[in-house]
Structure 1
Amino acid sequence: MLEILGYIGALFIGLVLGITGGGGSILTVPILVYVLHLNPLIATAYSLFIVGTTSTFGTISNFKKGLVVPKTAIQFAIPSVIGVYLTRKFVVHHLPDVIFYFGAVQLTKATFLMLIFAVVMFLAAYSMLKPPKKIEESEWKTKGPVIIIIQLFFVGILIGLVGAGGGFLIIPALIQLAKLPIKKAIGTSLLIIAFNSLIGFMGDVQNIAIDWTFLLVFTAISITGILIGLRIQQYINERLLRKIFGIFVLAMSILILYEEVFS
């Protein structure tokens, strides 16, 4: 029964990823951990492969519609890809099993990763629920390319830690910095997410044993979801969907915090 729920979740991940260009990937780790009971370290690695492969198929579909800007995607992807790969290769798998002790309480690596993930989910929900803010171009000019590159690098580190695609961080940057319209920002973000996730997963391949049968079946279902999501995208109110999904992600983040802190 739990396995069936997990595969239904895979379809839902793809649907939301196809419709919004980000957000669906934030559900992958909770489904793998709390529904299918995978270790969080394994779950974040699997999530990178699932999200990366699913986003690749979404990118192909969007490219045919002229909704992908490859040059912008590469410019944005390079700093974050480096951050993702280095984090998965040299940081995540080398964290101690117990991060620290505080009296009788100990913080394990698994709990640490899930707590970071819950915070990221909370930020993602906030990003989806807050009213859109018009940012003047002059505000971004003061940052300069070096600051932007550093920010994208740290986005990559965050993606590497939690195994999510980071669309909720990338899409606003594409709109505000690259001046892309929302549809092209969504399409281009999927290409960046694919780069980040699959290259990050390469940092895991040598460190963990992978159940390829399960991973490929779960990914295939998620790909089906994203293809359906891309088709129905034009028929729904995206702003309303993001608000509903934002509330759902917010509730999930609170549940994860409760589960990890009090259970």
Structure 2
Amino acid sequence: MNVLEIAGLSASICVGISLGLIGGGGSILTLPILVYLLHINPVTSSAYSLFVVGTTSLVGAITYMRQRQVDYRVALVFSVPSFVAVYVSRHFLLPAIPETLGAVGPLVLTRNGLIMVLFSLLMLGASLSMIRDGGHTGRVGRTKGLKLPLIGAEGALVGLLTGLVGAGGGFLIIPVLVLLARLPMKMAVGTSLLIIAVKSLLGFTGDLRHVAIDWPFLLCFTLLSVTGIFIGTYLSRYVSGSRLKKSFGYFVMLLGVYILLREVS
């Protein structure tokens, strides 16, 4: 193993720590680690990201389920359209995108480049959400009379983005659960982890026919990430989630700008 490979595998622990601490950020870290440190192409990396984030989120969701911090009704309303959008985008839409999309002057737009540009834009949007809502803790509310169609529409949009770039979408899901579903923050995190887990793993099944999977590597990376979620869950007892979320938002913003400049230069 070279230095970058060791750094990439070590960084996989940070994926789980992020999910354990603030209920999101796993895919935002996973894809750059796989692409830039481990030099795996973006299409394969997006598939790996779905498996890593899905499995790690499932482990975290089980912990919240035991604490009765998951709202299954809201999860169902959000998840069903999201699941459909993920499966359709991974199984049909992404394979239909040609390797080379065209050229603008000296800049050649490829499918891999498009994925990374979309991902960087998603990172910038997520970072603004984290910075703006970092201190929002949500409030307890009943699910009766909620804007269920709007929650479902948001689920479909997040599912489409998940399918295209391999992102679990935690930082897109949590604001919806807090602001529209009126869930308290801890329950929003638990519900988000369950949604991310099922949605990501379902999306991954759409890749099994199109992507060659290096299972020993993927399972090793995932195991380290799962280790990280236990660390993150433990640290969450002592670290201010709102302050951490805002600080992480600024980090994600810088990383998103870096990826965007790298891909368009």
- Give the TM-score taking structure 2 as reference length: 0.92
What secondary structure sits across from 1:107 in the alignment? Answer: strand
Looking at structure 2, the residues matched to 65 and 259 of structure 1 have their Cα atoms a distance apart, in angstroms, of: 43
The C-alpha deviation readout for 1:80-100, integer Å capped at 9, x for no partner, is 111111100001122101112
The C-alpha deviation readout for 1:227-260, integer Å capped at 9, x for no partner, is 1111221211011101111111001001101111
What one-letter code is carried by the residue in structure 2 that aligns with 1:156? G
* Partner in structure 1 of residue 218 of structure 2: 215
Alignment of 1:67-78 (within 5 A): 67-78=69-80
Alignment of 1:170-249 (within 5 A): 170-249=173-252
Pick which of 67-76 and 223-232 moved more.
67-76
Question: Which is helix-richer, 1 or 2?
Answer: 1
What one-letter code is carried by the residue in structure 1 that aligns with 2:24? G
Q: Which structure 1 residue ranges, 5 or more long, are not aligned?
A: 136-140
* Partner in structure 1 of residue 141 of structure 2: none
Looking at structure 1, the residues matched to 75 and 10 of structure 2 have their Cα atoms a distance apart, in angstroms, of: 30
The C-alpha deviation readout for 1:169-218, integer Å capped at 9, x for no partner, is 11111112221100010011000000110000011011111000000000
Cα 1:101–1:239 shift into 2, 3 Å: same
Of 26, 44, 48, the residue aligned with 1:42 is 44
* Partner in structure 2 of residue 256 of structure 1: 259
* Partner in structure 2 of residue 158 of structure 1: 161
Give the percent of matched residue pairs that are identical in Structure 1 and Structure 2: 47
Alignment of 1:84-103 (within 5 A): 84-103=86-105
- The answer to whether the 8 A contact 2:17-2:228 is kept is yes
The C-alpha deviation readout for 1:34-74, integer Å capped at 9, x for no partner, is 00000000000000000000001001111112212223212
Alignment of 1:94-113 (within 5 A): 94-113=96-115
Pick which of 170-179 and 30-39 moved more.
170-179
- The answer to whether the 8 A contact 2:28-2:167 is kept is yes
Looking at structure 2, the residues matched to 206 and 149 of structure 1 have their Cα atoms a distance apart, in angstroms, of: 28
Pick which of 190-199 and 22-31 moved more.
22-31
* Partner in structure 2 of residue 138 of structure 1: none
Of 16, 20, 23, the residue aligned with 2:25 is 23
What one-letter code is carried by the residue in structure 2 that aligns with 1:238? G
What one-letter code is carried by the residue in structure 1 that aligns with 2:102? F
* Partner in structure 1 of residue 170 of structure 2: 167
- Give the TM-score taking structure 1 as reference length: 0.93
Q: Which structure 2 residue ranges, 5 or more long, are not aligned?
A: 139-143
Pick which of 4-13 and 101-110 moved more.
101-110
What one-letter code is carried by the residue in structure 2 that aligns with 1:196? K
Q: How many residues are aligned here? A: 258
Cα 1:143–1:59 shift into 2, 3 Å: closer
What secondary structure sits across from 2:108 in the alignment? Answer: strand
What secondary structure sits across from 2:207 in the alignment? Answer: helix
Pick which of 18-27 and 246-255 moved more.
18-27
Looking at structure 2, the residues matched to 20 and 155 of structure 1 have their Cα atoms a distance apart, in angstroms, of: 18
* Partner in structure 1 of residue 13 of structure 2: 11
